[in-house]
Chains A and B, each alone.
Chain A
Amino acid sequence: MPVSLNYIFKRIILSILVILGVIVFSYLLLMLSPGDPAVKWAGNPRGPGATKAIELAREELGLNKPLYMQIVNFIYNFLTGNLGLSIAYKIPVSQVIVSGFAATLELMLFTYFFSVPLGIWLGIYSAINRGSRIDSFIQSISIILASTPTFWLGSLLLLASNSLTGFFPYGRVSSKLALSTGFTPITGFYLLDSLIQGNIQVFIDVLVRLIPPALTISVYPIGVLARVTRTLVAEALLEDYVRAAVAWGIKRKTIIRQFVLRSIVPPVIQISGLSFVYSLVDAMVVETVVFGREGLGSILIDSLHKADFRVTLALAVYLTAFYIIVNTLVDIVQATIDPRIRL
């Protein structure tokens, strides 16, 4: 077994420590910066009772207790699944986060569905044609892609799609269409939900609106994967065992498939995992600012603006956990497919 129980145990302990660290650090940062959540919880109170309202709110939120007690309370509430109500919207924190999380994750998964294979393919193709014009072209393109500012590109795509098709891929789904066709979100993944409900009109609508933001976010992983894969393949092609295989007269295709690609799979998976998490930040910006989609981006920005520390902290914890899970999965997959790696 490539993954030992010891590794899993260590990883869990480390993850818990990281999450605890994130909670403590974020909590301190939020509480020490200006912006009083009690004011928001009390509803920006006015009139002669304003001070009293804020004091009561502070008490209710436990903000009158010492900082370490507040942190302990938060951790306890978090572990018992009681995140409370959002300071800004007075609805359960989990409800605020879940809908945004599904929206962002749908966008991310859709993006990676095509960007990972495309990036890898470009890298391989470039490496096996290294030194050629096409190689230079792919290399140049991948540098440009990896360094393109996403919200400039997003705005450009938005304008382009409008001038080409007269359609603005704005939001996640047309509210009017959703209403008139009786579309109801179930899982929060609209592509899946529309398929479950057999609502093809909404499915196409959601798909069409996903493409521009997905293309925008995809430039980074495509660029990075193409560059990394090219380097890995080029290095592998110079390895002795590859040269020996060539000398043995083994077919080029077989060499690439059997020897070269196999050796690059673990690092490519690692890079894909890392860029996935990195792209999450990109997605959070692009979806909100450029494409007017709801998602984690708008929730995070809003929670910071409105001193909604419960939502901010919950998001920080979930995003950290997400990061850890993705990285752990990447390590496990690597160990499973590469017998040299032992975890």
Chain B
Amino acid sequence: MRKKIYLMGVFLVIAVAISMILVNIYTRQPTPSLKQRIVVYAYNDKITGIDPSIEDDTGLVVLGSIYETLTYYDYKTGAVKPRLAINWSVDSGGKEWMFQLRRGVKFHDGTPFNATAVKISIERARDIYRETGRGMGYIWDAVEEIEIIDEYTIKFILKYPQRLDLLASGSYAAYIFSPSVIEKANVTSYMDEKLEDWFNSGNAIGTGPYKLISYDPTREIRLEKYDEWWGWKEINNPNAPDIVIIKIVTEPVAQYNGLLSGEIDIASSIPRENVRMLLEKGFKAINLPTYHNFILFFNTKRYPTNIREFRLAIAHALDISRVIRDALLGYGKPASGIIPHEFPGHVEGLTYEYDLAEARNYLNASGVKLPVTINLLYQVDYEETRKFAEIFKSMMAELGIIVELNPQDWARLKDIAKGVWTSPEETPHLVVADWWPTIPSPYDYLYTMLHSDSKEWNFAGFENKAFDELIDSAWILEGEDYAKAMELYEQAQRLVHEDAVVIGLWDEVRPFVYSSRINMPEDALNPLYMFVIRFELVEVRL
């Protein structure tokens, strides 16, 4: 028997040794057939759909490489730049827009790009929204008629003045798809519901620098360089990736491991505490200041958060710089109001100074007897909101306010939070939610989160006619007098600030960490097109 044990032991040692050698040989040998420039980009969520007219969530990360918009928003200068449209003009006080389209552009299936494609793409997004409320087609609400002047000229007639050049750069509902989809999908009209299924089952025909070659929304999406893209001659990047794999890696730790193993080239969600370690190992990072911000909503319909002084007490007891240091490890910028820094309409100074004495004064003035218990609803999916909740609880304890924590995933959080309109007494006193925009307009943030008609997203239950009128007027004025519109947006924000209905917490700074075999310029990222990487600008060493 002893002999057997001995033999077994020897066998085991040999087996382990062989497997280790195998692993070593295998992992060290260069893969000879890797002649193509392949980039694996780890994205942190599964894809919710790729219908260019309807998709309004994570599909953006795919759509942004396959499709193009008429214009492009340059977040650094705030300028609108040509893309599929080369120039444009506006008339009749912002109600008539004429776009000259780029010539010689072809869709991925060879169909020529022209005014018809623009008309059907925008009409589809708009009409689906009008009929069903789905997607982001509301950005085209003002568009009454689209007139094809000639193959490369298109005219938009609006119901009310709008900055159509800005809207046309939107990150959703502004993508131009090929008119040939109707034939390929075997449907009778662009409004046919089967067309949505066709897109979502992995079909896409855009004009962008990359075309879709395989689609598994839960695992990975493969894109291939589109050699006939019009922009290659302008960019002149012979080292752009031939193949892009967008790999769904939901766990930040798994993204970190993937980078280390060489499996992933670009990671979008690395645990913040590991970024420095990666940089020390030779990885590179772009810290992108984003338009993704976090907001604290007060339930204005429930005691005691319905008392302005009580809300101000909380606002002054909240030390945002500590939150950014401890919860975000520096990857955030203290917010000023609910419109992020550098975004149109952002106003400086809409903050509450951390001052416990001031907080106590407001608390006394509120008439709320201590101890008082309030509850905080927050999203469990974000590590930073989890940490924030703990820190917030300890900060409020200093004031004598007891905070009960209510962590939920996004679907449940939204369902509970919107209860402020129907059952405010059962809805938590405080909600932490996040937002990123569709179009570069303050209306995107202000309407959605604070307008009294926005009952799905206004988690404060805030109703203020003056505020509504200000932002509605500003929205229409954007097309006529942009500067005046910005003034109105500012007034509206000051009104909210004085009332302390919401507190802007922080604007996210997101580190995109990438391998040293990649060269990624800062321009490859744009906070309006969150998580989209302009792979055409990325250089890959073989």
Q: List the A side residues contacting B36 at CB < 8 Å.
A: 180
Q: Are B409 and A304 in contact (CB under 8 A)?
A: yes
Q: List the B side residues contacting A89 at CB < 8 Å.
A: 46-49, 200, 217-218
Please encode chain A, from 263 to 284, with 1 for each CB lying within 8 Å of some chain B CB and 0 for all others.
0000000000000000000000
The binding surface of chain B is classed by DSSP as mixed
Q: Are A176 and B412 in contact (CB under 8 A)?
A: no
Q: Are B133 and A42 in contact (CB under 8 A)?
A: yes
Q: Are A91 and B217 in contact (CB under 8 A)?
A: yes
Please encode chain A, from 283 to 314, with 1 for each CB lying within 8 Å of some chain B CB and 0 for all others.
00000111110100011001011110000000
Q: Are A170 and B263 in contact (CB under 8 A)?
A: yes
Q: List the A side residues contacting B261 at CB < 8 Å.
A: 162, 167-168, 170
| A251 in contact (CB, < 8 A) | no
Q: Chain A's nearest CB lies how many Å from the CB of B13?
A: 14
Q: Chain B's nearest CB lies how many Å from the CB of A52?
A: 4
Question: Once the chains are docked, how many angstroms separate the CA of A307 from the CA of B409?
Answer: 10
Give the contact stretch, choosing among A17-25, A31-39, A228-236.
Answer: A31-39
Give the contact stretch, choosing among B180-188, B247-255, B483-491, B494-502.
Answer: B247-255
| A49 in contact (CB, < 8 A) | yes
| A338 in contact (CB, < 8 A) | no
Q: Chain A's nearest CB lies how many Å from the CB of B453?
A: 6
Question: Once the chains are docked, how many angstroms separate the CA of A89 from the CA of B248?
Answer: 13
Please encode chain A, from 202 to 229, with 1 for each CB lying within 8 Å of some chain B CB and 0 for all others.
0011001001000000000000000000
Q: Of B23, B34, B200, B415, which is within 8 A of A36 by CB?
A: B415
| B68 in contact (CB, < 8 A) | no
Question: Once the chains are docked, how many angstroms separate the CA of A35 from the CA of B220?
Answer: 27
Please encode chain A, from 77 to 97, with 1 for each CB lying within 8 Å of some chain B CB and 0 for all others.
000000001001111000010
Q: Of A51, A162, A174, A306, which is within 8 A of B411 by CB?
A: A306
| B454 in contact (CB, < 8 A) | yes
Question: Once the chains are docked, how many angstroms separate the CA of A88 from the CA of B129?
Answer: 19
Q: Chain A's nearest CB lies how many Å from the CB of B407?
A: 12
Q: Of B33, B134, B245, B263, which is within 8 A of A181 by CB?
A: B33
- Residue tally, chain A, CB below 8 Å to B: 64
Known contacts being A46-B136, A170-B258, A305-B381, is A39 close to B20, with CB within 8 Å? Answer: no
Q: Are B49 and A175 in contact (CB under 8 A)?
A: no
Q: List the B side residues contacting A34 at CB < 8 Å.
A: 408, 411-412, 415-416
Q: Are B455 and A51 in contact (CB under 8 A)?
A: yes
Question: Once the chains are docked, how many angstroms separate the CA of A54 from the CA of B454?
Answer: 13
Q: List the A side residues contacting B255 at CB < 8 Å.
A: 292
| B364 in contact (CB, < 8 A) | no
| B54 in contact (CB, < 8 A) | yes
Q: Are B411 and A165 in contact (CB under 8 A)?
A: no
Q: Are B49 and A90 in contact (CB under 8 A)?
A: yes
Give the contact stretch, choosing among B24-32, B282-290, B337-345, B520-528.
Answer: B24-32
Q: List the A side residues contacting B129 at CB < 8 Å.
A: 47, 49
CB contacts under 8 Å to B, within A69-126, are 85, 88-91, 96, 99-100
Q: Are B455 and A204 in contact (CB under 8 A)?
A: no
CB contacts under 8 Å to B, within A140-182, are 158, 161-162, 164-168, 170-171, 174-177, 179-181
| B216 in contact (CB, < 8 A) | yes
Question: Once the chains are docked, how many angstroms separate the CA of A289 from the CA of B38?
Answer: 26
Question: Once the chains are docked, how many angstroms separate the CA of A90 from the CA of B20?
Answer: 43
Q: Chain B's nearest CB lies how many Å from the CB of A305?
A: 4
| A56 in contact (CB, < 8 A) | yes
Chain B residue with minimal CB distance to A306? B411
Question: Once the chains are docked, how many angstroms separate the CA of A59 from the CA of B23?
Answer: 54
Please encode chain B, from 431 to 452, with 1 for each CB lying within 8 Å of some chain A CB and 0 for all others.
0000000100000000110000
Question: Once the chains are docked, how many angstroms separate the CA of A166 from the CA of B40?
Answer: 20
| A198 in contact (CB, < 8 A) | no
Q: Are B24 and A165 in contact (CB under 8 A)?
A: yes
Q: List the B side residues contacting A53 at CB < 8 Å.
A: 132-134
| B222 in contact (CB, < 8 A) | yes
| A50 in contact (CB, < 8 A) | yes
Q: Are A99 and B218 in contact (CB under 8 A)?
A: yes
Q: Are A49 and B26 in contact (CB under 8 A)?
A: no
Q: Of A43, A48, A290, which is within 8 A of B49 by CB?
A: A43
Q: List the B side residues contacting A302 at CB < 8 Å.
A: 46, 218, 250
Q: List the A side residues contacting B541 at CB < 8 Å.
A: none
Chain B residue with minimal CB distance to A164? B20
Q: Are B136 and A168 in contact (CB under 8 A)?
A: no
Chain A residue with minimal CB distance to B196? A90
Known contacts being A167-B23, A170-B258, is A176 close to B40, with CB within 8 Å? Answer: yes
Question: Once the chains are docked, how many angstroms separate the CA of A34 from the CA of B407?
Answer: 12
Known contacts being A42-B134, A50-B454, A180-B36, is A162 close to B260, with CB within 8 Å? Answer: yes
Chain A residue with minimal CB distance to B454? A50
Q: List the B side residues contacting A177 at CB < 8 Å.
A: 31
Q: List the B side residues contacting A96 at CB < 8 Å.
A: 218
| B56 in contact (CB, < 8 A) | yes
Question: Once the chains are docked, how many angstroms separate the CA of A174 from the CA of B220?
Answer: 12
Q: List the B side residues contacting A45 at CB < 8 Å.
A: 56, 133-135, 456
Known contacts being A46-B456, A49-B130, is A171 close to B258, with CB within 8 Å? Answer: yes
Q: Of B46, B251, B410, B448, which is within 8 A of A46 by CB?
A: B448
Q: List the A side residues contacting B243 at CB < 8 Å.
A: 179
| A44 in contact (CB, < 8 A) | yes
Q: Of A88, A161, A289, A292, which is within 8 A of B258 by CB?
A: A292
Q: Are B218 and A299 in contact (CB under 8 A)?
A: yes
Question: Once the chains are docked, how many angstroms separate the CA of A46 from the CA of B381?
Answer: 21
| B219 in contact (CB, < 8 A) | yes
Known contacts being A47-B129, A292-B249, is A175 close to B263, with CB within 8 Å? Answer: yes
Known contacts being A170-B257, A171-B258, is A47 close to B411, with CB within 8 Å? Answer: no
Q: Chain A's nearest CB lies how many Å from the CB of B74?
A: 24
Question: Once the chains are docked, how many angstroms separate the CA of A82 from the CA of B34?
Answer: 42
Q: Of A33, A205, A294, A299, which is within 8 A of B412 by CB?
A: A33
- Can you offer 15 A-B residue contacts whose CB atoms are under 8 A? A34-B415, A35-B415, A42-B134, A44-B57, A45-B56, A45-B456, A48-B138, A50-B455, A51-B133, A89-B47, A170-B263, A179-B243, A180-B33, A292-B251, A302-B250
| A contacts, CB < 8 Å to B | 33-36, 39-40, 42-54, 56-57, 85, 88-91, 96, 99-100, 158, 161-162, 164-168, 170-171, 174-177, 179-181, 201, 204-205, 208, 211, 288-292, 294, 298-299, 302, 304-307
Given contacts A166-B28, A208-B26, A305-B410, 10 further A-B contacts (CB under 8 A): A45-B56, A48-B138, A49-B133, A167-B261, A168-B257, A171-B263, A175-B220, A175-B245, A290-B253, A292-B251
Q: Which 10 A-B pairs have the closest CB atoms?
A: A53-B133, A292-B254, A49-B133, A168-B261, A47-B138, A35-B411, A307-B411, A52-B133, A90-B200, A34-B412
